[in-house]
Copies of this chain bind each other. A is one copy, B any other.
Amino acid sequence: MSANDKPPAARPAHPITDRVREAMAVSLRGCDELLPEADWLAKLARSEATGQPLRVKLGLDPTAPDIHIGHTVVLNKMRQLQDLGHTVIFLIGDFTSMIGDPSGRNTTRPPLTREQIEANAQTYYRQASLVLDPAKTEIRYNSEWSDPLGARGMIQLAAKYTLARMLERDDFTKRFKTGVPISVHELLYPLMQGYDSVALKSDLELGGTDQKFNLLVGRALQTEYGQEPQCILTMPLLEGLDGVEKMSKSKGNYIGISEPANDMFAKVLSISDTLMWKYFTLLSFRPEAEIARLKAETDAGRNPKDAKLLLAREITTRFHDVTAADAAERDFNHRAQGGVPDQIDEVALGGAPLGIAVLLKQAGLAPSTSEANRLIDGNGVRIDSAAVTDKALKLGAGTYVLRVGKRKFARVTLS
């Protein structure tokens, strides 16, 4: 079938009930783009009428298994769609990961072994399961259909897309215009990803905004293969705790989903009152109406901390449990009143008497003695609640509670 010979797009042949409208609202919540909306509405209506769940695909690069709550923005949307009864497909891109970067230019993409990929995928899935409903999650590896394609299938696949359309992708356009080399194989990757949608008969593919082009390739290829094309849904990237940069491990502005409950709780409390509402939209599972009410109350003068505590409790409960969230809240309040947290690191050091900077470094509270001295200068170091002002201070044998900044504590026993 040729590109011009498209099957008719899904049309709302089924009634648009209130439940369908509600599912549409859930789909749209916090999303960047949902394309084409009319097709997704029609799919939702059909699913509602026939009881046939829709198939929602999320591709996953199994190279970096540790996730932070920024990554859960897309997972949350998956969970919301699961709660509407749809099937979520967790697609592990093992095929290309096992190839790595064959041009050898990208040294951060070495080929992975099957074992590494499975280990990474398991780690990722275990974390994602804190958000997703495992019973409604299908896990697939794309080598299942990519390897059997063979060299012939690859050529046939590549025949279904033109170079000109491929070069419409932003980064290709830019590199092509500025003469930064594009290897021919890079043109094949979006096609492989698109073929995943064909193999999975995907109804909807989710991704970050930066994935929009690739998601649309899947849509085009499904049409070429005579399937009803998927819709695409992009979610915005989550700002980090600073409210400025995107959340990322390398920026240090993140909340890891495996972080201790106390840290997680305190980090949510540390965000700005403005950023809080974006986090509510993208991270909370509370109904939008409830969030709107909360915001109205806050705008009317209620302490923003009330709302922030609710958000911190919800997030901490999701990744730990309600008991841990309770404890984290108590711990936070205790510290807010200047108290020492419930659980702090115990450190035993020798060499008394020890200079304060060396001690801070050895206790892991400062990366270096010079940094320790800077912290003291900034009035950021306390011993048993008393601020340290003398960088020449030496401590003798004994046990001290050291505190650096607001949240770093250690109980040091020096001998």
Contacts and interface: CB of A to CB of B under 8 A. Distances in A.
Contacts of A146: 151
A175 to B, nearest CB: 9
B159 A102 contact: yes
A185 to B, nearest CB: 4
Interface stretch (A123-131, A160-168, A244-252, A359-367): A160-168
Contact of A184 (B104, B151, B158, B176): B158
B187 A156 contact: no
A155 B187 contact: no
Contacts of A181: 162-164
A348 interface: no
A147 interface: yes
Interface in A266-322: none
A370 to B, nearest CB: 40
Given A163-B184, A176-B163, A184-B191, A154 B154 contact: yes
Contacts of A163: 163, 176, 181-184, 186-187
A149 interface: yes
Nearest to A157: B185
Copies in the complex: 2
Interface in A186-215: 186-189, 191-192
20 contacts: A2-B104, A99-B152, A99-B155, A101-B159, A102-B155, A102-B160, A103-B159, A151-B151, A154-B154, A154-B188, A155-B188, A155-B189, A158-B183, A163-B163, A163-B183, A164-B181, A166-B184, A184-B187, A184-B191, A187-B187
Contacts of A183: 158-163
Nearest to A166: B184
Nearest to A153: B151
A146 B151 CA distance: 7
Contacts of A153: 151
Nearest to A181: B162
Interface in A95-109: 95-96, 98-99, 101-104
Contact of A164 (B151, B152, B182, B191): B182
Contact of A162 (B98, B166, B184, B189): B184
Given A2-B104, A159-B185, 11 more contacts: A99-B155, A99-B156, A102-B160, A147-B152, A151-B151, A151-B192, A158-B184, A159-B183, A161-B184, A162-B184, A166-B184
Contacts of A155: 96, 99, 102, 154, 185, 188-189
Interface of A: 2, 95-96, 98-99, 101-104, 146-147, 149-164, 166, 176, 179, 181-189, 191-192
Nearest to A163: B182
B102 A156 contact: yes
A162 B159 CA distance: 18
Contacts of A156: 99, 102, 185
Listed from nearest, the 3 A-B pairs whose CB atoms lie closest are: A102-B159, A158-B185, A159-B185
Contacts of A147: 150-152
A103 B155 CA distance: 10
Contacts of A184: 158-159, 161-163, 166, 187-188, 191
A95 B146 CA distance: 19
Contacts of A160: 102-103, 183
A349 to B, nearest CB: 49
Nearest to A147: B151
Nearest to A146: B151
Contacts of A179: 164
Nearest to A162: B181
A224 B243 CA distance: 47
Given A104-B2, A187-B187, A182 B154 contact: no
Contacts of A103: 159-160
A150 to B, nearest CB: 6
A166 B183 CA distance: 10
